[in-house]
Structure 1
Amino acid sequence: MKEYKWATLGCGVIANQLAEAMEKRGKKLYSVANRTHEKAVSFAEKYGIEKVYNRIDDVFEDENVDIIYISTPHNTHIEYLRKALAAGKHVLCEKSITLNIEELREAMEIAKENNVILAEAMTIFHMPIYKELKNIIDSGKLGKLNLIQMNFGSYKEYDMNNRFFSRNLAGGAMLDIGVYALSFIRWFMTSKPDQILSQVRYAPTGVDEQAGILLKNKEEEMATVMLSLHSKQPKRGTISFDKGYVELYEYPRGQEAVITYTESGEKETIKAGNTSDALLYEVEDMEKTVSGNENLMYPEYTEDVMDIMTQIRREWGMKYPEEE
């Protein structure tokens, strides 16, 4: 497989994990772009990256760059996606990939026109535990899927200047943590939910601080989601079938699941992959997809999830400044 040159746009927590994932493969990022040049220089020095751009736009014009990983705030993604994809770069973009479904479909069209791969960096689609569970479920061992229950609650300090609560930085529970719960649901559900009910509690800034969601698809599979940015909950997913149920904790980067069989009560523990290698799995699947050998990025699931999130926010009447 070709040796791909990766650039990072952004040098925060995720970019550091990306650089560490590259090092695990015995490789390095090729270049770094960032709004604050000094931070980019420090990041490059830390990881031995050979190229730092003076302007962010220079990364799109660099003919040596194959793949760009975008990890800037949600509401800046579409601006960079337009430029990167139009320049013929493959893009792996941090979740949530865009603010809404219209932005995503625009980006997908640009990617199609330029024959490049656009993908969301959604860990759930790449952690080995999910691929292992999919094989078990597809075997029919657990029977028919009936119900999925999702929890994700963080306790963020009640600081309205924090990015989690900021409308100007596309804060709120849906785009920050809801995207994980809904991606989990979409991974296991037979088809996209087409019946959706929800409730929301707002933070003083007007972003969604807490939300409850009910979903059902045409196969009559159902799901519940409880989200909060100011009330700690376990990151737990439970998938219930006719013949048993599956529990995963810390599911955004899960590595272990427990199956409880309905008839006997017997428990079986399934282990696959390592939480610490989450970015490594994403990088490897992206390169395999770019090479044309396999399609491992699931853009159809990304589109379904973004459509659901957009529908829910519109029912709430909640908009970000860019959408007004």
Structure 2
Amino acid sequence: MKKLNWGILGTGWIASEMGEALQAVNGEIYAVCSKSVANAQKYANQFGVKKVYATAEEMFQDPQIDIVYIATPHHIHYPYLRQALMAGKHVFCEKSITVNSQQLEECVTIAKEKNLVICDGTTLLHMPLYQKLREMIGQGIIGEIKMIQVNFGSLKEADSNNRFFSKELAGGALLDIGVYATSFARFFMKSKPNVVLTTVDYYETGVDETSGIILKNPEGQMAVMALTLRAKQPKRGVIVGEKGFIEISDYPRAQKAMITYTQTGTTETIEVGQAARALEYEVQDMQDYVQNQGGQENLQMVRDVMEILTAIRNQWGMVYPFE
């Protein structure tokens, strides 16, 4: 795989993890930009980055950059995503890729017009385990899938100034951790759900703190999701079929799944990939998409997920101030 020039926007903890992955897969990082030039320079020193930019606009205009990686808070993903695409750059953006489906669809239109790749950082969509499980399910090992159960709970400190609880910064459980749960559910469903039922409890700032969500697609497959920012839950997903079920713990970066065959009670453990290499798989996929004009299946999955998340918020009537 040939080296590509990546420009990093944002220098927080996830950008540091991505820096390590880029060095491992791509061998180098071309450029970095942060609202703090000092932070950008520190990042450049740490990862041997060639160029440091003071503004995103300036970095986007660099003709040497192939891919822009957006690692900013997600309330400003959309404007940067749009600007990068308009500048002719492929974009890998952290989740949630945008805050609503209208924003994403606008960017998809631009990308199609300019023959550019959009991809997002929902890690499980890039983990080798999931491709293996989908293949095995297609072979009928657990029969027809009937239900998916998926939980995600974080115990965030009750701080109204924290971005997780800030409505102005698109906080709340849905866009922070619900992206993973929804992606898990959609990945194993035959088609996009056309029925959404949900209830929510709000934090004092007006963002969603806890929610229950039921999805159903035209084939009758159902997914049940439980999300919260104020109570730790196991990151556990279960795919239930007529002949067995598959359990996956720590599912965003999972490398192992256990299959239980209900007719016999026997179990089988499947291990594929390495959790520690999760972001390397993201880099590999993105570079493959760019060099081989791929990624359409991944993008459609991301679009479906964003439509579901938008439908959920529409039912709640929860709107961010900047929308």
Do they fold alike, i.e. is TM over 0.5? yes
Q: Which residue of 1 aligns with 2:50?
A: 50
- Shift, 1:296, TM fit: 6.7
Aligned-residue RMSD, C-alpha: 1.1
Gaps of 5+ in 2: none
Supply the AA of the counterpart residue of 2:182: L
Contact 1:120 1:297 (C-alpha < 8 Å) held by counterparts = no
Q: Which moved more, 1:15-24 or 1:216-225?
A: 15-24
Q: Which residue of 1 aligns with 2:230?
A: 230
Q: Which residue of 1 aligns with 2:134?
A: 134
Q: Which residue of 2 aligns with 1:151?
A: 151
**3-state DSSP class of the match of 2:210?**
strand
Structure 1 pair 119–294 and aligned structure 2 pair: CA distance change class (3 A): closer
CA distance in 1, matches of 2:295, 2:54: 34
Over residues 49-106 of structure 1, what are the superposed CA-to-partner deviations in whole Å (9 max), with x where a residue is unaligned? 1110122211110000000110101110111111100111000000000010100001
Q: Which residue of 2 aligns with 1:90?
A: 90
5 Å-filtered alignment, 1:31-110, equals: 31-110=31-110
Q: Which residue of 1 aligns with 2:206?
A: 206
CA distance in 2, matches of 1:36, 1:56: 12
**3-state DSSP class of the match of 2:49?**
coil
Structure 1 pair 60–297 and aligned structure 2 pair: CA distance change class (3 A): farther
Contact 1:288 1:296 (C-alpha < 8 Å) held by counterparts = no
Structure 1 pair 269–130 and aligned structure 2 pair: CA distance change class (3 A): same
CA distance in 2, matches of 1:156, 1:293: 40
Contact 1:125 1:297 (C-alpha < 8 Å) held by counterparts = no
**3-state DSSP class of the match of 2:68?**
strand
Contact 2:117 2:295 (C-alpha < 8 Å) held by counterparts = no
CA distance in 1, matches of 2:54, 2:315: 42
**3-state DSSP class of the match of 1:98?**
coil
Q: In the alignment, does 2:182 pair up with 1:182?
A: yes
Contact 1:101 1:310 (C-alpha < 8 Å) held by counterparts = yes
Q: Which residue of 1 aligns with 2:192?
A: 192
Supply the AA of the counterpart residue of 2:199: Q
Over residues 149-172 of structure 1, what are the superposed CA-to-partner deviations in whole Å (9 max), with x where a residue is unaligned? 011000011111111001111100
Contact 2:3 2:26 (C-alpha < 8 Å) held by counterparts = no
Supply the AA of the counterpart residue of 1:64: Q
Gaps of 5+ in 1: none
For these two proteins, the number of residue pairs brought into alignment is: 323
CA distance in 2, matches of 1:218, 1:56: 43
Poorly superposed stretches of 4+, deviation over 6 Å? none
**3-state DSSP class of the match of 1:318?**
coil
Q: Which residue of 2 aligns with 1:306?
A: 306
Q: Which residue of 2 aligns with 1:121?
A: 121
CA distance in 2, matches of 1:294, 1:89: 15
CA distance in 2, matches of 1:212, 1:117: 33
Identity %: 49
